[in-house]
Chains A and B, each alone.
Chain A
């Protein structure tokens, strides 16, 4: 669970270019199962899982 502080850090107010492009290269591997997550379908407001697509 992400804390309130974590949400504030994630939704930063000032762009500083701290994205981890180097870390991306080893985060997930091709050939492995894509992680699933729940999101809101904008068209309907329904809660959906990525795996439904």
Chain B
């Protein structure tokens, strides 16, 4: 997607933060050297081509933006927040970028536009098998910790990241 939208002037950046699911193989960050090493491994494993910015050890940037594990923010050239979501879903991002391109076309056609506030519910893919594989890459502890947390969420009747329909 980053390659697809670069000609349109969009820049994609990945901000690398804490280990959301630490385990034996990828534990919690205790030094910047370790965090950078984990970031390189992440880049190679996922073949990420876009720039990766590694947040400091205290998570300064991550905390400013909400400290959630998988957020997306879309900013204007002037640094204003145009879009924010508590999860990352490529079709949702593409939808909004296409909307921005349409706004550009409308302005180029002479239409006067003013920004307004909206909210919406997004939908992301849920693949438990793939998710478990991701956890296993960090180590058995990551798998067990998530399973224990899921049992607690189920007993409470709510997964915090989900919006029920």
Contacts and interface: CB of A to CB of B under 8 A. Distances in A.
A17 B79 CA distance: 31
A21 B160 contact: yes
B145 A24 contact: no
A33 B80 contact: yes
Contacts, number: 135
Nearest to B138: A15
Interface string A26-46: 011111111111111111010
Nearest to A7: B58
Contacts of B52: 41-43
Nearest to A16: B149
Given A2-B58, A17-B149, A30 B40 contact: no
A11 B19 contact: yes
B161 A21 contact: yes
A24 B81 CA distance: 14
A35 B75 CA distance: 11
Interface stretch (B29-37, B103-111, B124-132): B29-37
A42 B32 CA distance: 11
Interface residues of B, number: 57
A21 B32 CA distance: 27
Given A16-B145, A17-B152, A42-B53, A34 B81 contact: yes
Contacts of B64: 35, 37
Contacts of A41: 51-54
A53 B11 contact: yes
A50 to B, nearest CB: 7
Nearest 5 Cβ contacts at the A-B interface: A2-B58, A39-B53, A37-B61, A42-B52, A17-B149
Interface of A: 1-2, 6-7, 10-17, 19-25, 27-43, 45, 48, 50-51, 53
Given A12-B18, A15-B145, 10 more contacts: A11-B19, A15-B142, A25-B86, A28-B66, A28-B84, A33-B81, A34-B80, A42-B53, A43-B52, A53-B13
